Chain A
Amino acid sequence: MTAGPSGVPGADIGYMLVLEASTYQASVALVAGTRVIAEREVATGRAEHEHLMPAVAAVLDEAGVGVAALDRVVCGAGPGSFTSLRIAAALGKGLASAPGGPRLASVPSLLLIVAGAADRLAAGTYLASIDALRGERHAALVRLERGAGGAGGAGAGGGDGVRIVPASAARRLPEKVVGEWAREAGAMMIGPGCAIEAWPAAHGVLLLRDHVSDADLESWEPDYGRLAEAEVRRAAIAADRAGA
């Protein structure tokens, strides 16, 4: 493991470069210990130029940190935008493929919504949600607890005793159902276009250390949250034939 910068709390954690791109508002953060060293937000929709890789370079340049000094490159694991997730994943794999490069890891993107906005949220249960297109949303229940642990404590991942706890698996549901789920769970909806507006933010990884998982460099792929459309149609045809 690469040592973090001297003078940074939790420096033994090392540098993590985080690439989150499950929505069209992507972000890149370099974190070490309990600190965000540098961060950029990037729009990733259709454009003449691709901006995520320049953001990676800018973040590392601002911090004066080279790729070889990174301990991990952490990709937002999804669910979310197929193409944006894949760009981040391919960038992560490219960085991790370099000699002496960082280990590849991932972190659930829906957790990054709550974790990224934690400094303005009260303790409670949230339904983190993003658009899944076709009238559906990806969603997961997430609990934000305060006072459950100290700064950098095991499981807390952050300062001020903030703790992010997944309270359900991620699901893809019709928009109406998502709202009902939030009401039944007594949860506040948070995410792009929700009552509490927030985007998955790369710096949220500081509160999610327990949820960062090492990933196999060769075989890892994001959780896209849905099959390719052709696979859905083929499965429907197969089901029709089986029922006929």
Chain B
Amino acid sequence: MTRVLGIETSCDETSAAVVDGAGDDVVLRSLVILSQDAHAVFGGVVPEIASRAHLTSIVPVVRRALEEASLGSDGLDAIAVTYTPGLVGALLVGVSYAKALAFATGRPLVPVHHLEGHLFAAALEHRDAIPPFTALLVSGGHTMVIDVAAWGDYRLLGATRDDAAGEAFDKVGKLLGLPYPGGRHVEALALQGVPGRYPFTRPMLRQNQRPGDADYFDVSFSGIKTAVLRAVEDGAHDAPADAAAGGGSASGQAQRHADIARGFQDAVIGTLVAKTARAARKYGRTRIVVGGGVACNRALAAALRREAAAFGATVFTPSPRLATDNAAMIARAGLFRLARGDVATLDLNAYATAGLPGLRAA
């Protein structure tokens, strides 16, 4: 069995984890995630503040992950670290720390692409969340539909042409006056909304789209964000049923915002589910794996399961702590990369963006 320490510092979570195993028989020994709350007052992640916080968090976070795994760093077989994509200053803390620790302990250093980590996250909890499957990666920075024929063999089918799904949720949350990050608040507000009062167009989804069309699997969320802005600004004027919801009173506005949240969420989920189902059908996949922070959205998971059941597919979603940024998925992906001999030299750098290894165009 191989024991791998994973380190993740790509954005505003400092995380470390230990996995133990071989092939797809892998056990998560520990996972520590320290989320930075300093960014809420700024309405978004401030890269320099995130980088500084990683530097003062990384030692205690790694130490605790090793303690929970009942290991010292000399008990590890390798150290895996996220090197891209993300905030370069933040990534550099994890990469630099991991390089030095790997050098000092004589262990191999395994560079891991953050998005590949998300592909592996569900497999830590669901034994059957393994290739071949259709992957929907939805986070604050990415929205991609990928066909995973095997680990390391990825075909990019579709991606966002502008905002990521999570980014759209956060921006709409801001438009509705909700705290940052807005994703979970929009979801909670949408539960109180009436379906259909704001029937926003499902972005980049047309009945006459055919496989081979450039937008068949792609998504776009900037348009719906603008539509939400207009709905919020126009208030009762654009909402036919608004009078029934209370008109211009304070409670009426609250209900209107809930209805807008519901309309927005239904439209985004409608598009994501349709595109993912198209991908699974086209490649004959019976497994669908969701990864990224938006995978925490229960309405998305429920809608995807309903759609997948129609053609006999099973949907796997990680629990929230494995859906959002975490080092367990980095350690798990690192275990795979280590087995392939993908180890880094000491000049490993961090990159804001870089291609996912093994990813090819459709």
Contacts and interface: CB of A to CB of B under 8 A. Distances in A.
Question: Do A and B share a complex?
Answer: yes
Interface of A: 47-54, 56-57, 67-68, 82-83, 86-87, 89-95, 97-99, 101, 217-221, 224, 228-231, 234
Contacts of A224: 52
B188 interface: no
A67 B346 CA distance: 15
A230 B49 contact: yes
Contacts of B52: 86, 221, 224, 228
Nearest to B49: A228
A53 B59 contact: no
B62 interface: yes
Contacts of B347: 49-51, 53-54
Interface stretch (B98-106, B129-137, B165-173): B98-106
A95 B74 contact: no
B323 to A, nearest CB: 27
Contact of B100 (A83, A91, A218): A91
Interface string B76-106: 0000000000001100111111111111110
A218 B103 contact: no
A89 B100 contact: no
Contacts of B89: 82-83, 86
Contacts, number: 122
Contacts of A231: 46, 49
A87 B93 CA distance: 6
Interface of B: 41-42, 46, 48-49, 51-52, 55-56, 58-60, 62-63, 72-74, 88-89, 92-105, 345-350
A98 B46 CA distance: 31
Nearest to B96: A90
A91 B104 CA distance: 10
Contact of B58 (A93, A98, A229, A230): A93
B100 A92 contact: yes
A133 B298 CA distance: 47
Contacts of A220: 56
Contacts of A217: 59
When A and B form their complex, which 6 residue pairs have the shortest distance between CB atoms, in order from nearest?
Answer: A94-B100, A98-B104, A90-B96, A228-B48, A49-B347, A67-B104
Contact of B97 (A47, A54, A91, A229): A91
A94 B49 contact: no
Nearest to B94: A90
B346 A228 contact: no
Contacts of B63: 97, 218
Contacts of B98: 94
Given A51-B347, A217-B59, A218-B59, A83 B101 contact: no
Given A91-B96, A94-B102, 5 more contacts: A90-B55, A90-B94, A90-B97, A94-B103, A228-B46
A95 B101 CA distance: 5
A218 B64 CA distance: 12
A53 B63 CA distance: 22
A234 B42 contact: yes
A54 B96 CA distance: 11
A94 B99 contact: yes
B83 to A, nearest CB: 10
Given A97-B73, A221-B52, A230-B42, A90 B104 contact: no
Contact of A93 (B41, B100, B350): B100
A56 B48 contact: no
Nearest to A92: B100
Contact of A53 (B46, B60, B346): B346
B71 to A, nearest CB: 11
Given A86-B89, A95-B104, A97-B101, A50 B348 contact: yes
Contact of B349 (A47, A94, A219): A47
Contacts of B49: 228, 230-231
A87 B100 CA distance: 10
B325 to A, nearest CB: 18
A67 B74 CA distance: 13
A93 B97 contact: yes
Given A47-B349, A49-B349, A97-B73, A86 B105 contact: no
Nearest to A231: B49
Contacts of A49: 347-349
A54 B346 contact: yes
A77 B105 CA distance: 25
Contacts of A234: 41-42
Contacts of B46: 228, 230-231
